[in-house]
Amino acid sequence: MERISQLLYKHLEGTLSEAERTELNDWAAANPANRKLLDRVNNNEVLEADIDDWYAIPRRTVADDPRLDAAILQYETAKNQPRVRQLVRRILPYAAAVFVMLLAGMWYVSEQRQTSREHEIAATDIRSGGNKATLTLSDGRKIDLSSEQSEIIVKDESVTYGDGSSLTVIPDKSKDRSDVSLLQLTTPKGGTYQLILPDGSRVWLNTGSTIKYPARFISTERTVEISGEAYFDIEEDSKRPFKVLSPGQEVLVLGTKFNVSAYPDDPDTKTTLVDGKVLLSLPKGSGEGFPASGKSILLAPGEQASLSKGHITKSKVDVSQFTAWKEGFFYFNKLPVTTAITQLARWYNLDVVYQEKLPESNVYAYIDRDKPLSAVLKALELSRLKFKIVQQGERKQLIVLGEQ
């Protein structure tokens, strides 16, 4: 760690050469723990707290050297200065180097202890997702929905479960006013829920998704906004077209069935039409500098629009692959390995770590999403993959060992 301590110290001083900066960046990129340490050194508030903690150590337990006494005296004089980097520059080089070395050493030991706390767990122990969602009211109140229920109904300024049992009354807003209460339904990773909107339209919300919608539709348009993935079955109303907003695009319909997948961590937003007709457009100004900004395309049943970096393409697809989740299945039909793993990681609420090179082959499988994780992994292993699952603190990690 001595070489890294020297580089970190020079990094704090701002005296790194280009070669040394490259060396430090390569070291940080080699291991997540290294990156965490560099980020910690770069965080002024965290670094100041670390320095405070270090100087609180009885000085003779750190080193028996008069230079430390001088460094501590100078630090105590300068510690109230607002900027950490100015403070560090005033610490004697010897003391600063010792501090960075100790910080690096303590961080290394901490990471080793954290790693030692990891333990492998069986895939059969990972339960599938289920009915989980949170309803947020316009006044900020949050309601965790029952896992024994699967849907909520918004009607007449109130919300009920699908079986008719009362859930909540929506906060009052005068019917004479143009504004209306806005609600939000959010599913966590490993959760799904259904929603019946005030006009009778039905929405299936996939795992890790959010839909924002009004308590009642009062204008000439019915508009909702989503992040993540949702399947829509829209009640026809020629006087009030239905509009779905997602980052960078709008979907306009009269009455139809379609799926929108717009996860923030996916490179593409995919709109898949099952029945009816939709007009998909990219509002002007929604994607500054994007060539497709302001463009519109019409989808027919069995077609999919894919939006990526402002570019939009249309293609024929097997729609069942993109709607199987609504029926409770994973449908991997010639799907890239990483795409399949992303889907199951969301459903089983896992973090994914790739350790080896992945095979170039695609995945084929049709699996009940109620099955334990082991059943899904067994199907993926047919693509020459191997997996390991570890408990890392409060999170579970799926380690993808790569092609075997």
Residues 108 and 236 in one domain: no
Q: Which helix (H) or strand (E) holds 246?
A: strand 242-246
pLDDT per residue as tens digits for the range 74-127: 555 555 555 544 555 455 444 455 555 555 655 555 555 554 455 677 666 688
Q: Final residue of a domain: which of 277, 303, 321?
A: 321
Mean pLDDT confidence for 144-154 = 95
Give residue-wise pLDDT tens across range 353-380: 888 777 777 888 899 999 889 888 888 8
Assess whether pLDDT exceeds 90 at residue 13. Answer: no
Residue 140 shares a structural domain with residue 258:
yes
CA 78 to chain centroid, in Å, comes to 41
pLDDT tens-digit map of 198-218 = 999 999 999 999 999 999 888
Same domain membership, residue 142 and residue 276 = yes
Q: Assess contact for 205 and 230: CB atoms under 8 A.
A: yes
Is 230 found in the same domain as 96?
no
Decide if 121 is inside a domain.
no
Contacts of 395 (CB under 8 A, 6+ apart): 351
Greater model confidence, 268 or 22:
268
Q: Which of 235, 236, 211, 234 is nearest to 224 (CA)?
A: 211
Please, what is the end-to-end C-alpha distance for the chain in angstroms?
Answer: 34
pLDDT for 282-292, tens place per residue? Answer: 876 544 444 44
Let me know whether 305 and 332 are in one domain. Answer: no
Residues 268 and 244 in one domain: yes
C-alpha–C-alpha distance, residues 326 and 187, integer Å: 14
| pLDDT confidence tier of residue 51, bands split at 50, 70 and 90 | low
248-272: average pLDDT: 93
Domain's final residue, options 300, 321, 342: 321
Is 228 within a domain? Answer: yes
Three-class SS of 133-166:
CEEECCCCCEEECCCCCCEEEEECCEEEECCCCE
Indicate whether 124 belongs to any domain. Answer: no
In this structure, of 24-33, 43-52, 328-337, the range with the lowest mean pLDDT score is 43-52
169 Cβ neighbours under 8 A, 6+ residues apart: 157, 158, 159
pTM of whole model > 0.95?
A: no
Mean pLDDT of 15-24: 81
Q: How large a percentage of the chain has pLDDT more than 70?
A: 73
Cβ distance 34 to 27 under 8 Å? yes
Closest alpha carbon to 23 in 37, 8, 12, 36:
8
The DSSP line for 75-100 is HHHHTTSS-HHHHHHHS-HHHHHHHH
Confidence of residue 7 (pLDDT cuts 50, 70, 90): confident
Structural domain contains residue 123 = no
Same-domain check for residues 176 and 316: yes
Q: Is 233 left (phi over 0), alpha (psi -120 to 50) or beta?
A: beta
CB 318, CB 333: distance < 8 Å: yes
Select the more confidently predicted residue: 229 or 310.
229
111 and 145 share a domain? no
- The parent domain of residue 87 ranges over 2-116
Let me know whether 172 and 271 are in one domain.
yes
Most distant CA pair in the chain: distance in Å?
Answer: 85
Q: Are residues 93 and 7 in the same domain?
A: yes
**What average pLDDT does the chain have?**
79
Same domain, 24 and 164: no
Domain holding 347: CATH number?
3.55.50.30
Instruction: Name, in order, each residue with C-beta under 8 angstroms of 9's C-beta and a sequence gap of 6 or more.
Output: 93, 96, 97, 100
